[in-house]
Structure 1
Amino acid sequence: MHNNQQNPIQPICNTGNPQQFHNPQINFVNNNQLPTFIQQPQNPHFNQLVFQQGLHHIGQNINQQQLIHQKIHFPLFLKDIEKQDLLTISGIEYKKLKLLGKGSYGSVYMIQNKQTLEFYALKIQTSIQKEEVEILSRLKQKTFKNLVNTIEFQKHPETNEYFLLMEYCENSLQNIIDQKPIDHKEARYIIKQIANGIKELHEEKIIHRDLKPENILVFVKKDQNSNMTQNIYKICDFGLSSTKDLAKTLQCGTAHYMPPEQIKHQNNLLGYDQSVDIWAFGTVIYELFTQKVMFMKSNRQEVYEEILKITQKQIDEKIQTDLKMLDQQYVKLVQKMILIEPSQRITIDQVLIELKQQSTNIATYNVNKENIIKAKKTMQKTEKHFRRKQGEKLELTASTEQFSY
């Protein structure tokens, strides 16, 4: 089982050195051009800069003529956000509530839309890989059910910092696993949600490469007409994701969840594909039911060695032994996912088909079980009624006999 201490084994794909923070200066150029920055005056709480020159969206340049008739609002960036409570992003006012996390990449804040009162996460990132820019730009164009949705993703033209406005998720699967054993019915629901998220990624030709409980978040969906809520499990953190599936030269991911080919890849030019996510998914399911990682050693190198040395027979026996509390269909599904040979692993479409079949079997079993229980209750009721009638007959006979005296 995980503890609350920091996991010493972290993703090992270096995203680059953070850039030094600095506050953009307000300056004006000659009369034939627009001012580079215009600071909102006389209101210390109106936290925004209006950029009117040199601005570009990710993957799209905006020329000066377009900007003459357009104002685009950004929050003040990281150095300034730490001091401010109100932010304006793309013309919408937000209230900064609290810092959710901070690291070498930058910071993540919880913010609230002042009008709708909805919560969001605002990530200010000091460095970012080119491929992550491409992926986030593409994902921003769509809405996904089981991926953390990106609302805004843009780059500050002066500081080169990126800001990422996302759905706010209240919890992570890692925290849920750490807290207590998960009910099997809830676990089946979680597995189906994760599978849907992986399918959404793979349909976009994206390989996640770092799927683990920490990167699966819980979005709480609230019913507007009642107090009912529903947990939606969403995959996040596409910093190590890739759209390519051949000749990758970087070994990225977190050791416990990496398949052998991903570990080996640092030493050769062999490629890997979407099946790395299937292996990782299988190890997440294992952890969901056992509350422990499948390959646990004291350090990253030992984890690598165990995954590279273990045989398929040993993997199958470990799954069979540690998941013996599950129906055999689930055990076999996990075994089909954690296969040493990538080409033999089940695909995400096949995973979803099997999950649907198992849900049907469970539903059929539950209906049959319910019918058996109903039939049993009916028989008990009939038998009780019969006995009562027999008792009344006996009592009547006894009364008649008494009168004969």
Structure 2
Amino acid sequence: MKMMIMQGKIWDRVFEVESKYEPKGPIGKGAYGVVYSCINTLTNEEVAIKKIKVGENPKEALKALRELRILRHVSHNHKNVIALKDVMIPSAKCKDVYLVFELMDADLDTFIRSSPPLPNYVVKYFMFQLLNGLNYLHTANIIHRDLKPGNLLVNAKRDLKICDFGLATTTTKGSSQTQLLATENLGTRGYKAPELLLNCFTYGPSIDVWSVGCIFAELLGGNRLFSAKDKAGQLIKIINILGTQNDSNLRFIPSCDWEAYRLLESQPYTPGIDFKLLFPNADPMGLDLLNKMLQFNPDKRITVAEALQHPYIPSMCNHRKSQPAPLPCHVDVEDSVGVHKIRKMIRDEMLLYRQDALR
């Protein structure tokens, strides 16, 4: 396979990609990879190439494996999920992974920060697309676990696509919960559901609904609704806005972080803040939907499918049927599996993707 090396001018990183891809420049940098804008010289199509560092870290390798496994199953099947267009088979050592995506103009975080207050019809359109894509993922038993504006890509037409599946997982078919421990490293604190902050041992797709509610509030107000420096501060911020939770709303946390639980109990009573005061120009039906998403108790949160039927979402949108989701795919591996085996699994996934692309 003919390869070329291009040197990143900003981060001084080396990219090794197929020679048909001509670099234009770096467009993003994440915790475990960088992204370049490129031209496919064979098709004259602009693409984004994401380099994921695997190295010797099994956690980083697992992120790459998760992303590949999920994208191989869901990419190209829904217009609100980012499309994986190509993969580049690495050497046997597989220390870097290169994924080729459709090129979008910016992430939603950049869009929010660079725009004046968004009109209601734009917020509605973004919310419909986000819920539509997430409903497709949840139907496939996939929980994203890291939804935030930075992981939502948009273009000049305001099309929105969900991306970055490095922390995603799958639930067992027919089950609404996963047994994985919700550690502090899971997700981004400002969008993290209470059950994750409380380190609950079980959680389900409702954690994504909470994140969507946080994104919704950010679209309405231009800033994060819940923002704190640590887990304790985050919980206090949530209580200050949503109000003191009664016992029935705390029964879902019998096996959680008791220190955090006692923190909640020690807080003085607060009635919370009415969303109408926080977002005075918002559509009242939008605030009703926001309230249903940001329920402290996950059992009381609206589901994504229910949210799509909410009166806030334009009625014409409710008639746009999503394509059937593929069969669930298992993306996690046992903790005992070492990085070298995960690298082999990554390479196998890439070969399967190439085989599927040739059909």
The residue aligned with 2:256 is none
Written as runs of structure 1 = structure 2, the 5 A alignment for 1:92-103 is 93-102=20-29
Scaled by the length of structure 1, what TM-score is found? 0.60
Residue 325 of structure 1 is aligned with which of 278, 281, 284? Answer: 281
The residue aligned with 1:218 is 154
The residue aligned with 2:167 is 240
Alignment deviations for residues 176-209 of structure 1 (CA, whole Å, 9 cap, x no partner): 2112111111111111111112112212211111
**Whole-Å Cα distance in 2 between the matches of residues 317 and 333 of structure 1?**
16
Q: Which amino acid aligns with 1:189?
A: Y
**Whole-Å Cα distance in 2 between the matches of residues 83 and 246 of structure 1?**
37
**Whole-Å Cα distance in 2 between the matches of residues 274 and 108 of structure 1?**
29
Written as runs of structure 1 = structure 2, the 5 A alignment for 1:200-211 is 200-211=136-147
Give the drift of 1:333. Answer: 0.8
The residue aligned with 1:39 is none
Contact 1:297 1:303 in 2 (8 A): yes
For the structure 1 residues 311 and 163, does the alpha-carbon distance in structure 2 shift closer, same or farther, using more than 3 Å as the test? same
Contact 1:219 1:234 in 2 (8 A): no
The residue aligned with 1:359 is 314
**Whole-Å Cα distance in 1 between the matches of residues 282 and 154 of structure 2?**
24
Matched, 1:260 2:216: no
Contact 2:6 2:15 in 1 (8 A): no
Contact 1:85 1:97 in 2 (8 A): no
Contact 1:282 1:334 in 2 (8 A): yes
The residue aligned with 1:44 is none
Larger Rg: 1
Alignment deviations for residues 279-312 of structure 1 (CA, whole Å, 9 cap, x no partner): 1101111110111211133555422443367535
The residue aligned with 1:346 is 302
Alignment deviations for residues 39-61 of structure 1 (CA, whole Å, 9 cap, x no partner): xxxxxxxxxxx3xxxxxxxxxxx
Contact 1:282 1:337 in 2 (8 A): yes
Contact 1:256 1:303 in 2 (8 A): yes
The residue aligned with 2:49 is 122
The residue aligned with 2:65 is 133
For structure 1, list consecutive stretches of 5 or more residues without a partner in the other structure: 1-49, 51-72, 221-229, 363-405
Aligned CA RMSD, in angstroms, stands at 3.1
Q: Which amino acid aligns with 2:296?
A: I
Give the drift of 1:254. Answer: 1.0
Written as runs of structure 1 = structure 2, the 5 A alignment for 1:147-162 is 147-153=81-87, 154-162=89-97
The residue matched to 2:309 in structure 1 has which SS? helix
Contact 2:128 2:313 in 1 (8 A): no
Give the drift of 1:113. Answer: 1.1
**Whole-Å Cα distance in 1 between the matches of residues 303 and 162 of structure 2?**
18
For the structure 1 residues 207 and 78, does the alpha-carbon distance in structure 2 shift closer, same or farther, using more than 3 Å as the test? farther
Give the drift of 1:272. Answer: 0.5
The residue matched to 1:288 in structure 2 has which SS? helix
**Whole-Å Cα distance in 2 between the matches of residues 83 and 134 of structure 1?**
24
The residue aligned with 2:226 is 295
Matched, 1:169 2:101: no
Contact 1:156 1:162 in 2 (8 A): no
Give the drift of 1:235. Answer: 1.2
Contact 1:171 1:218 in 2 (8 A): yes
Alignment deviations for residues 34-88 of structure 1 (CA, whole Å, 9 cap, x no partner): xxxxxxxxxxxxxxxx3xxxxxxxxxxxxxxxxxxxxxx6665989x97989952
The residue matched to 1:107 in structure 2 has which SS? strand
Contact 1:77 1:124 in 2 (8 A): no
Q: Which has the higher contact order (CA 8 A, sep 6+)?
A: 2
For the structure 1 residues 95 and 264, does the alpha-carbon distance in structure 2 shift closer, same or farther, using more than 3 Å as the test? same
Alignment deviations for residues 76-135 of structure 1 (CA, whole Å, 9 cap, x no partner): 5989x979899527xxx1211101234552321111111332211111111234365144
Q: Which amino acid aligns with 1:126?
A: K
Q: Which amino acid aligns with 2:129?
A: Q
Q: Structure 1 segments of 4 or more deviating over 4 A?
A: 73-79, 81-87, 298-301, 312-316
The residue matched to 2:170 in structure 1 has which SS? coil
Alignment deviations for residues 231-253 of structure 1 (CA, whole Å, 9 cap, x no partner): 21111111111113422123401
The residue aligned with 1:181 is 117
For structure 2, list consecutive stretches of 5 or more residues without a partner in the other structure: 55-59, 172-176, 247-269, 318-359
The residue aligned with 1:194 is 130
The residue aligned with 2:244 is 311
Residue 206 of structure 2 is aligned with which of 262, 266, 275? Answer: 275
The residue aligned with 1:11 is none
Scaled by the length of structure 2, what TM-score is found? 0.67
